[in-house]
Amino acid sequence: MAENQHDQNWWSTIPGILTGATGVIAAVSGLIVALHQIGVFEKPPDLKPSVQSLAVIQKKSVDSEPGHSLFFEVHSELGWQNTRLYVQKGEVVKLEYNSGQWKGSSNGALRDPSKIIPSNRSTAHCYPVPENEAGAGALIAKIGDEGKPVDAFKNSLVGEGYLYLRINDCDEWLSDNTGIVNVGINVIQ
């Protein structure tokens, strides 16, 4: 009986407390390692390119040889993005949806921009292309700094200058957008 009382009191001694604390620490450490291995603590990749990296990218141009396809990622939270493709006079450019989704507001659902259709509702005055020509969240394109923006998937693009792409959303609303869309750019003439 005295031996049983000695066992009960042992946990309240310093060696007993240290043994118990060691067990708890080992269990918590094991849980942290397991959670780390399944990726719970990993930070998602930053999808926003830095201003500096965009500046470096935009200094280079891409040859626009007819018959070649180029691919470009369009970020929904950025304004006009230079694809580095210089379109020559007489060339025609067609864009194809490859992958990705985006949303044009913090409370909207992710959408495939190739399936967004124009709307008959009244549009905010700040949209680059009115919603009755290209719906809110559609991919829009223009050639040259002063080119007329159009729905990128529903129009062939002609003109001379660099090809620019973006989401059809007001500049002041871009910051709450999420997502990236990958498009194929085809020069067909």
How confident is the model over 164-188, as pLDDT tens digits? 999 999 888 898 899 999 999 998 8
Q: With a cut of 70, say whether residue 155 has pLDDT above it.
A: yes
Q: Does 59 have pLDDT greater than 60?
A: no
Q: What is the DSSP string of 36-94?
A: HHTTTTPPPP--SPPHHHHHHHHHS-B---TT-EEEEEEETTSS-EEEEEEEPTT-EEE
- What mean pLDDT is predicted for residues 76-95? 92
What confidence score (pLDDT) does residue 50 get?
40
Please tell me the number of Cα atoms within 13 Å of 106 on its side-chain side. Answer: 3
Q: Token match 């124009």: residue? A: 118
Taking only the tens place, the pLDDT of each residue in 12-32 is 888 888 898 999 999 999 988
Residue spans per domain, the chain: 2-37, 51-187
Answer yes or no: is pLDDT of 63 > 70. no
* Contact status, residue 81 vs residue 164, Cβ threshold 8 Å: yes
CATH code 3.40.190.10 for 51-187: no
Confidence category of residue 99, pLDDT binned at 50, 70, 90: very high
Nearest to 172 by CA among 140, 128, 121, 134: 128
pLDDT value for 52: 36
Read off the pLDDT of each residue in 22-47 and give the average, rounded to a whole number: 79
Q: Note the pTM of the prediction, 2 decimals.
A: 0.65
